[in-house]
């Protein structure tokens, strides 16, 4: 059973640009959550998508957005990049069972903004 696939693994962007990250969850999983990981802040929750609908959202500015497709693949977009957006972005999939909540994480996309 394939794991969670995130592409690309590494990205370098310039301040002001926009970027799109992709996440393919485990087959059959309908929930995809995104986290931002930085050394100072740890893991910060961005948002969760379930069956193509945003189910939860963290405290990030509107520059951060996402969507989920009918095949459960999810994309995350960051517009007008800032230096502080440099981070490891992790995607986590689950079967959406809120009682037995377990995540499977991808290896992440490391974004560097210069």
Partner 1 sequence: AQSVAQPEDQVNVAEGNPLTVKCTYSVSGNPYLFWYVQYPNRGLQFLLKYITGDNLVKGSYGFEAEFNKSQTSFHLKKPSALVSDSALYFCAVRDMGRDDKIIFGKGTRLHILP
Minimum distance, C-beta of residue 17 to partner 1, in the bound complex (Å): 24
Compare residues 34 and 81 and give the one whose CB is closer to partner 1.
34
Copy the structure tokens of residue 26.
């485990």
Spatial distance between the Cα atoms of 57 and 108, rounded to a whole number of angstroms: 19
- The contact pattern for partner 1, residues 37-66, with x = CB under 8 A and - = no contact, is ----xxx-x--x------xxxx--------
Nearest to 41 by CA among 103, 88, 104, 105: 88
Minimum distance, C-beta of residue 5 to partner 1, in the bound complex (Å): 11
Taking CB under 8 A as the rule, does residue 80 contact partner 1? no
Spatial distance between the Cα atoms of 96 and 13, rounded to a whole number of angstroms: 33
Q: What's the maximum distance between 2 C-alpha atoms anywhere in the chain?
A: 41
Helix (H, G, I), strand (E, B) or coil at 84: helix
Compare residues 17 and 26 and give the one whose CB is closer to partner 1.
26
Which residues contact partner 1 (rule: CB under 8 A)?
Answer: 4, 6, 33, 35, 41-43, 45, 48, 55-58, 90, 92, 98-108
């Amino acid at each position: 059973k394939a794991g969670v696939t995130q592409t690309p693994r590494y990205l370098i962007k310039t301040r002001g640009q926009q970027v799109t990250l992709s996440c393919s969850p485990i087959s059959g999983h309908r929930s995809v959550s995104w986290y931002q990981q930085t050394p100072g802040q740890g893991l910060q929750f961005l948002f969760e998508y379930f069956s193509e609908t945003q189910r939860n959202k963290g405290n990030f500015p509107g520059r951060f957005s996402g969507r989920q497709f009918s095949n459960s693949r999810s994309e995350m977009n960051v517009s007008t990049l800032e230096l502080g957006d440099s981070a490891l972005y992790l995607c986590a999939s689950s079967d959406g069972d809120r009682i037995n909540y377990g995540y499977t994480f991808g290896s992440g996309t490391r974004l560097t903004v210069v």
